Amino acid sequence: MREIVLDTETTGLNPTSGHRVVEIGAVEICNLIPTGRSFHVYLDPERDMPEDAFKVHGLSGAFLAGQKKFSEIAGRLLDFFEDSQLVIHNAEFDIRFLNAELTLADLPCIGMERAIDTLAMARRRHPGAPNSLDALCARYRIDTSRREKHGALLDASLLAEVYAELMGGRQAAFSLQSVGVATVNAGGDLLRHRHQPLAGRLTPAELEAHRNLVSGLGKTPIWKRYESDE
């Protein structure tokens, strides 16, 4: 299942007070695994940067003044979203800001039914405990050493790992079917498959015990399909 993990940075807390989106980061995941596709952009808010907001994300008005405006990237953003669910920490905040930007660009708003709020998920799973992104990363031992300030793409990547933990881990299903699945490590890096498989570790006695067990499962047990031709 395809989902988009999303984070934004803004000039403030309320779009109705004239605050704008200044950074968008989004990561594509499929069955909880990052695919390597992402969307990232800095935006010119067409206004000043309050000091309180600058302290959070470190994006100055001077830096953002040369960036694209939301209306210029809105089409690419919506194309990246497609019709996928959006995974967001405190979804109401980000959806409200995105919808304010979409309204200014004369584009349809995003319905809240498309959002999966990981903050609400965390509060149900860990009632009474701190459930900020930093707190959840610490709880699940996710490395945040790269995170000196808030950044939309990095925070979306961290949230993808948190979301996988909230969903019970990345092994979403058990299947005996042989399929080509990309393997990633905890940092999201693609791992190469071995050119030659590791040597078997079962002893002859253990193999014989397994064959005896399978032979008692009936005439056509499913395990027969996966036995090697030794």
What does the pLDDT average to over 180-206?
Answer: 60
Could you give the CA distance from residue 88 to residue 5 in angstroms, rounded to a whole number? 6
- Give catalytic status of residue 195 as yes or no: no
CA proximity to 8, closest of 65, 88, 106 = 88
What does the pLDDT average to over 23-43?
Answer: 97
The β-bridge partners of 157 are: none
Could you give the CA distance from residue 54 to residue 35 in angstroms, rounded to a whole number? 31
Give 185's pLDDT tier (boundaries 50, 70, 90).
Answer: very low
pLDDT of residue 15: 96
* Beta-carbon contacts of residue 10 (< 8 Å; ≥ 6 apart): 19, 20, 21, 22, 53, 97
The full set of domains in the chain, from first to last, is: 2-166 (3.30.420.10)
**Residue of 150, 193, 195, 210 marked catalytic:** 150
- Per DSSP, 112 falls in state G
pLDDT digits (tens, 9 = 90+) for 66-93: 899 999 999 999 999 999 999 999 999 9
Angle value at C-alpha 163, between 158 and 164, nearest 5 degrees: 100
Give 173's pLDDT tier (boundaries 50, 70, 90).
Answer: very low
pLDDT digits (tens, 9 = 90+) for 83-126: 999 999 999 999 999 999 999 999 999 999 999 999 999 999 99
% of the chain residues with pLDDT over 90: 69
- Output the average pLDDT for the chain: 86
